């Protein structure tokens, strides 16, 4: 018996491991609780010469087909204070911890910085992959470093913030280093005397409506949760992966041409360029609330594709392609998926 055989299962249905609720099968599947487990599973992968796909909460993946390699479910836990000063606290967190639980832990200790990122589904280890962001804050603002194991060599590597090359829903792990590392822990720096960030319009409006002029981080977190619950579908009730596409960032020139034709088009500055909400473009093409078989566009948020029950990954993907095509035809804008497509 090999050192790893107790960790490996075969022909595992992935429906419960992706929030879209797509029923693809993994040829091999392993749940790892520690770096030691991870190293053992990598021995198996090397012996069998098969590819690996790392999963956390499965809330940003779309399996279009069965996966012929090994799906590795990262459940490496742990939370420890790495460093503390008068003003800051540095936390090291295992990749398999739940992101929202971490946010709640920080809010209850009055450690500020990630309260705007309340209720984002998924694991801590996936947060750097797309530099998660919401309500005016992105992970990179509190990020210090991460530790990862290289899949081909088993070597441990530390990545600083700069090395992660964060951008809007982007990092080096979605580009040059895609599929090359398993993130095992991350380090964040939080404020012990928090300054809240209420720059996001929907958040400041909601706080104002509640008559809260000087919110605490708990009030910011509660309000973000309320806004999210009012428009995003709960994956435990209806399959989805949040925003299916990224918001396109276009040149000022391209935007001016669009604005001439559609004066009401919402937009936000993005450095030298302009960010346009994909939800608006999709909505204007008439997709909101549309349903084709069990695949559909959410009734409250046009950027969210939902699985009403038994839609397969390919069915969801076909709907996404149709949406993309109509946005391109009407506005000349390309939508890029935010979701990580497998297969
Ligand atoms: P998974 O879906 O399991 O994986 C995502 C990607 O990361 C995959 O490519 C996977 O291979 C890779 N990966 C995962 N863990 C590791 C690891 N340890 N090492 C290496 N690679 C890894 N995102 C936002 O940014 N902002 C939002 O506001 C937001 N809202 C959402 C709302 C809903 C209802 C849903 C369903 C999703 C939302 N998302 C949002 C997307 C999603 O929650 C995030 O992308 C989250 O970080 C995914 O975490 P996960 O553990 O589920 O990742
Ligand atoms: N809108 C429409 N129709 C809709 C929904 C929205 O026209 O059905 C327009 C409105 O003008 C609205 C604008 O689009 O003001 C933006 O909508 P919203 O505030 O809901 O935000 P979003 O751009 O759709 C982004 C992120 C979310 C994040 C929220 C809050 C991306 C791809 N998505 O959504 O992240 O939670 O802002 O910060 O950047 C995710 O990444 O999965 C995700 C949910």
The residue nearest atom 19 of ligand 2, judged by CA position, is: 202
3-class state of residue 185 by DSSP: strand
Q: What is the pLDDT of residue 52?
A: 98
Q: Which of 199, 191, 196, 203 is nearest to 217 (CA)?
A: 196
164-189 pLDDT, tens digit each: 999 999 999 999 999 999 999 999 99
| Domain limits, the chain | 5-74, 79-231, 239-342
25-34 pLDDT, tens digit each: 999 999 999 9
Dist. CA 321–CA 62, nearest whole Å: 13
Q: Which of 117, 78, 114, 72 is nearest to 95 (CA)?
A: 78
Helix axes 217-231, 201-209, angle to 10 degrees: 110
The residue nearest atom 35 of ligand 1, judged by CA position, is: 242
Where does 239-342 sit in CATH, by number? Answer: 3.90.78.10
Inter-residue long-range contacts of 319-322, CB under 8 Å, 24+ positions, other chains counted = 319/292, 319/295, 320/244, 320/245
Tell me which fold the domain 79-231 belongs to.
3.30.465
Common-topology check for domains 5-74 and 239-342: no
Tell me which fold the domain 5-74 belongs to.
3.30.43
User: Once rounded to an integer, what is the mean pLDDT over residues 81-98?
Assistant: 98
Q: Are strands 340-342 and 61-63 parallel, antiparallel or unpaired?
A: parallel
- In Å, how far from its chain's centre is CA 17? 15
What's the mean pLDDT when you consider all of the chain?
97
Q: What is the pLDDT of residue 25?
A: 98
Dist. CA 228–CA 134, nearest whole Å: 10
Active site members: 169, 243, 338
Dist. CA 173–CA 140, nearest whole Å: 14
Give the whole-number percent of the chain exceeding pLDDT 70. 99
- For 190, other C-beta atoms within 10 Å of its C-beta total 20
Q: What is the pLDDT of residue 21?
A: 98
For residue 248, give the ligand nearest its CA.
2
For the chain, the maximum distance between any two Cα atoms, rounded to a whole number of angstroms, is: 69
246-255 pLDDT, tens digit each: 999 999 999 9
User: Once rounded to an integer, what is the mean pLDDT over residues 224-233?
Assistant: 96
Q: What is the pLDDT of residue 4?
A: 82
The residue nearest atom 36 of ligand 1, judged by CA position, is: 241
pLDDT higher than 60, residue 201: yes
**Mutational pocket test of ligand 1: of 21, 54, 60, 340, the residue with most ligand atoms within 8 Å of the beta carbon:** 60
3-class state of residue 53 by DSSP: strand
Q: Does ligand 1 have an atom closer than 6 angstroms to the CB of 95?
A: yes
- For 34, other C-beta atoms within 10 Å of its C-beta total 15
| Atom from ligand 2 closest to the CA of residue 136 | 38
Which position has the token pair 């309500």?
Answer: 135
User: Once rounded to an integer, what is the mean pLDDT over residues 297-304?
Assistant: 97
DSSP strands (E only) in the chain? 8-13, 25-32, 52-55, 61-63, 67-74, 79-84, 88-94, 133-134, 137-138, 143-150, 156-160, 181-191, 239-243, 249-250, 268-270, 273-275, 291-292, 295-297, 304-307, 340-342
| Atom from ligand 2 closest to the CA of residue 301 | 8
For residue 232, give the ligand nearest its CA.
1
pLDDT higher than 60, residue 1: no
Q: What is the pLDDT of residue 127?
A: 98
What residues does ligand 2 touch, defined as CB less than 6 Å away? 134-135, 202, 242-243, 246-247, 266, 277, 279-280, 283, 288, 301-303, 338
pLDDT higher than 80, residue 141: yes
């Amino acid at each position: 018996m090999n050192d790893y055989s107790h960790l490996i299962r075969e022909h595992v249905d992935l429906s419960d491991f992706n929030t879209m609720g797509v029923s693809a099968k993994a040829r091999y599947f392993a749940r790892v609780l520690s770096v030691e487990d991870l190293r053992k599973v990598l021995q198996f992968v090397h012996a069998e010469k098969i590819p690996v796909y790392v999963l956390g909460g499965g809330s940003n993946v779309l399996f279009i087909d069965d996966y012929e390699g090994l799906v590795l479910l990262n459940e490496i836990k742990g939370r420890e204070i790495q460093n503390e000063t008068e003003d800051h606290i540095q936390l090291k967190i295992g990749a398999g911890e739940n992101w929202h639980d971490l946010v709640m832990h920080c809010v209850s200790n009055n450690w500020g910085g990630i309260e705007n990122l309340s209720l984002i589904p998924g694991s801590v280890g996936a947060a750097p992959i797309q530099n998660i962001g919401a309500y005016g804050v992105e992970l990179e603002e509190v990020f210090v470093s991460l530790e990862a194991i290289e899949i081909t060599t088993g070597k441990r590597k530390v990545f600083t913030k700069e090395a992660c090359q964060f951008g809007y829903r982007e990092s080096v792990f979605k580009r040059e280093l895609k599929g090359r590392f398993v993130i095992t822990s991350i380090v964040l720096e939080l404020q012990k005397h928090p300054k809240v960030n209420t720059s996001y319009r929907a958040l400041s409006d909601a706080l104002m409506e509640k008559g809260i002029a000087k919110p605490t981080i708990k009030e910011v977190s509660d309000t973000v949760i309320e806004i999210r619950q009012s428009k995003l579908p709960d994956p435990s009730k209806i399959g989805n992966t949040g925003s299916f596409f990224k918001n396109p960032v276009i040149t000022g020139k391209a935007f001016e041409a669009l604005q001439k034709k559609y004066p009401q088009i919402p937009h936000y500055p993005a450095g030298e360029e302009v960010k346009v909400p994909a939800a608006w473009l999709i909505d204007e093409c008439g997709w909101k609330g549309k349903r084709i078989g069990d695949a559909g566009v959410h009734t409250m948020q046009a950027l969210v594709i939902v699985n009403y029950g038994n839609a397969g990954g390919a069915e969801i993907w076909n709907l996404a392609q149709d949406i993309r095509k109509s946005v391109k035809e009407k506005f000349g804008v390309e939508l890029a998926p935010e979701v990580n497509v497998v297969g």
